[in-house]
Structure 1
Amino acid sequence: MERRNFVAALLLGLSLISGVVRAQDNPAESPLENTRYIDSLSLSAGNFPQKLIKVNDQVYIISQSPVAGNIGVFLGSSGVYLIDTQWATLSEHVKKLLGSITTSPIKAIINTHYHYDHTNGNLAFGPENIPIVAHINTRIRMMERQVIRSHKNEVQLPYPTHALPTVTFTDKLSFHEGNETIELLYFKNAHTDGDVVVHFKESDIYHTGDIFVWYGLPVIDAETGSNIFALIEALDTLLARADDRTQFIPGHGPLCSKKELLAYKNLLTSIKEKVEVLHNQNRPLAEIIKKTQVLLDPKLHGISREKFITQVYRMVKSNRIDQKNPYSPRGQIKSKN
Structure 2
Amino acid sequence: MTYANHTRFTRRGFCLCCVGATTFAVSGGWLTPKEVFAQAQGIVDMIRSAAAKAPIEVHTLRGNVSVLEGSGGNVAVLTGPDGKVLIDAGITASRPRMLEAMSGLSREPIRHLINTHWHFDHTDGNEWLNKEGATILAQENARKHLMSAQRVEDWDFNFPPSPPAALPSETVSAEKSLRLNNATLLLKHRPNAHTDGDITVAFAEADIFHTGDIYWNGIYPFIDYSTGGSIDGTIAAVEAILASIGDRTIVVPGHGQPVSNKAELQAYRDMLTTIRANVSSLKRQGRSLDDTIAANPTAAFDAKWGQFVIGPAFFTKLVYEGV
TM-score, normalised to structure 1's length? 0.85
Q: Match for 2:171: what amino acid?
A: T
Aligned twin of 1:244? 247
Question: Is 2:189–2:199's contact at 8 Å kept on the other side of the alignment?
Answer: yes
Out of 34, 43, 49, the residue aligned to residue 43 of structure 1 is 49
The Cα shift of 1:10 comes to 4.1
Matched, 1:107 2:114: no
Alignment of 1:280-299 (within 5 A): 280-291=284-295, 292-299=297-304
Aligned twin of 1:194? 197
Aligned twin of 1:94? 98
Give the gaps of 5 or more residues in structure 1.
Answer: 317-337
Q: Distance in 1 between matches of 2:53 and 2:171?
A: 33
3-state DSSP class of the match of 2:111?
strand
Q: Deviations over 1:110-138 (max 9, x none)?
A: 01101111111112112234200101111
3-state DSSP class of the match of 2:79?
strand
The Cα shift of 1:289 comes to 1.6
3-state DSSP class of the match of 1:104?
coil
Aligned twin of 1:329? none
Q: Deviations over 1:12-47 (max 9, x none)?
A: 766631449x9x956779x97977211221012122
Aligned twin of 1:257? 261
Q: Deviations over 1:71-128 (max 9, x none)?
A: 1001133211001111111122211111112111112000110111111111211223
The share of aligned pairs that are identical, in percent, is: 33
Question: Is 1:113–1:194's contact at 8 Å kept on the other side of the alignment?
Answer: yes
Q: Which moved more, 1:299-308 or 1:73-82?
A: 299-308
Aligned twin of 2:67? 61
Aligned twin of 1:233? 236
Give the gaps of 5 or more residues in structure 2.
Answer: none
3-state DSSP class of the match of 2:254?
coil
Aligned twin of 1:220? 223
Matched, 1:161 2:164: yes
Alignment of 1:140-155 (within 5 A): 140-150=144-154, 152-155=155-158
Relative distance call for 1:204 and 1:57 in structure 2 (3 A) is closer
Aligned twin of 2:317? 310
Relative distance call for 1:189 and 1:34 in structure 2 (3 A) is farther
Question: Is 2:152–2:158's contact at 8 Å kept on the other side of the alignment?
Answer: yes
Coordinate RMSD, CA, aligned = 2.7
Question: Is 1:112–1:118's contact at 8 Å kept on the other side of the alignment?
Answer: yes
Q: Match for 1:307: what amino acid?
A: F
Q: Distance in 1 between matches of 2:41 and 2:128?
A: 21
Q: How many residues align?
A: 313
Q: Distance in 1 between matches of 2:38 and 2:260?
A: 37
Matched, 1:172 2:178: no
Q: Distance in 2 between matches of 1:178 and 1:130?
A: 15
The Cα shift of 1:301 comes to 2.8
The Cα shift of 1:51 comes to 0.5
3-state DSSP class of the match of 1:62?
strand
The Cα shift of 1:283 comes to 2.8
Q: Distance in 2 between matches of 1:91 and 1:166?
A: 21
Aligned twin of 2:273? 269
Q: Distance in 2 between matches of 1:145 and 1:34?
A: 21
The Cα shift of 1:175 comes to 1.0
3-state DSSP class of the match of 1:159?
coil
Aligned twin of 1:16? 18
Matched, 1:211 2:214: yes
Relative distance call for 1:9 and 1:249 in structure 2 (3 A) is closer
3-state DSSP class of the match of 1:313?
helix
Q: Distance in 1 between matches of 2:260 and 2:226?
A: 29
Q: Match for 2:300: what amino acid?
A: L
Q: Distance in 2 between matches of 1:105 and 1:9?
A: 28
